[in-house]
Amino acid sequence: MSEPAPAKRQKSSKDVPYHLIYWPGIPGRGEHVRLALEEAGAEYTDTAFTDKGMDEVLAMIDAKNLGDEVNLPLCAPPMLRHGDLVINQTPNILLYLGGRLGLVPPADEDADGVYRVNGLALTALDGFSNEVHDCHHPIATGLYYEDQKEESIRKSKDYVKNRLPKFLGYFERVLQSKPSGEGPWLYAGRLTYADLVLFQCLDGTKHQFPKAVEKMRKSGDYDRVFALYEAVQERPRIKAYLKSDRRQKYGLGIYRYYKELDVVE
């Protein structure tokens, strides 16, 4: 893969490929990390496509794992290994990658930019990932969907009626705001990882609630958000990635399609 052009990438002991540790077989929360790495053209490996990838995930979250000399034990994937460092939590990994991959404004131009981008990413993940997941698992993540189906239908109806327009409306306002700048992106007129997160969140939400998202799109009330969604898809490296075998299909992960949950208000 070709090299990214971050402002000040330095050769260091960490100038090694990134390694994503995430459940093989679903895009899930790992997909936010993949999109950042793909957009930057960074070199990386991924347990979704390595031998014994699943074993690696399971070993990392084993209840006897006490970390190593420098790394704390970690509770859940996605995790990122970079040289000797291993960290987890999606927004934390993106924060780590943001400056390294040129996906936040350079700190010497905009020292606070990283907090704006982190805040946007956290909000997108709250509204379009955590809450959407909970629409098919409102009672217990350890139970089957079928054991909480009625509650899921009830929560999904509330989500598409109240929460989906709330969060779409919020990001539409961000895109209208002065600090968003010119062009399709959320902050400072340039692509940041928050745009990639919002794209992926909306793509997954569309998979789970196709009718409701289409209704929102047609309403015309969120045109800037849907324009951002399309603009991310048109990024050359993202476009190539989305067509590749590396882009996994949605399955029984964060975003799930169940006909009875595909409700509209």
Residue placing its CB nearer to its own copies in the complex, 63 or 244 = 63
Among 27, 78, 127, 184, binds its own copies (CB under 8 A): 127
DSSP state string for 171-239: HHHHHHSGGG-SSS-SBTTB--HHHHHHHHHHHHHHHH-HHHHHHHHHHSTTHHHHHHHHHHHTSHHHH
Q: How far is the CB of 205 from its own copies (least distance, A)?
A: 16
Q: Which segment (33-41, 45-53, 176-184, 237-245) binds its own copies by CB under 8 A? A: 176-184
Taking Cα atoms as reference points, which of 125, 142, 124, 134 lies closest to residue 208? 134
Among 27, 98, 184, 253, binds its own copies (CB under 8 A): 98
**Interface with its own copies, residue 143, by CB under 8 A:** yes
User: Do residues 258 and 214 make contact, with C-beta atoms less than 8 angstroms apart?
Assistant: no
User: Do residues 28 and 249 make contact, with C-beta atoms less than 8 angstroms apart?
Assistant: no
List binders of its own copies among 14-73 (CB under 8 A).
63, 65-73
How many binding residues for its own copies (CB under 8 A)?
70
Q: How far is it between the farthest Cα atoms of the chain?
A: 55
List binders of its own copies among 197-256 (CB under 8 A).
none
- DSSP state, residue 139: S
Q: Token pair of 100, please?
A: 């390294």
- DSSP state, residue 16: S
**Interface with its own copies, residue 129, by CB under 8 A:** no
Distant-in-sequence, close-in-space partners of 251: CB < 8 Å, separation ≥ 6: 25, 26
Residue placing its CB nearer to its own copies in the complex, 18 or 248 = 18
Q: Which segment (1-9, 42-50, 235-243, 246-254) binds its own copies by CB under 8 A? A: 1-9
Binding site for its own copies (CB under 8 A): 1-4, 6, 8, 63, 65-76, 85, 87-89, 91-92, 95-96, 98-100, 106-108, 111-112, 114-116, 118-120, 122-123, 127, 130, 134, 138-143, 151, 154-155, 158, 162-163, 167, 169-170, 173-174, 176-180, 186-187
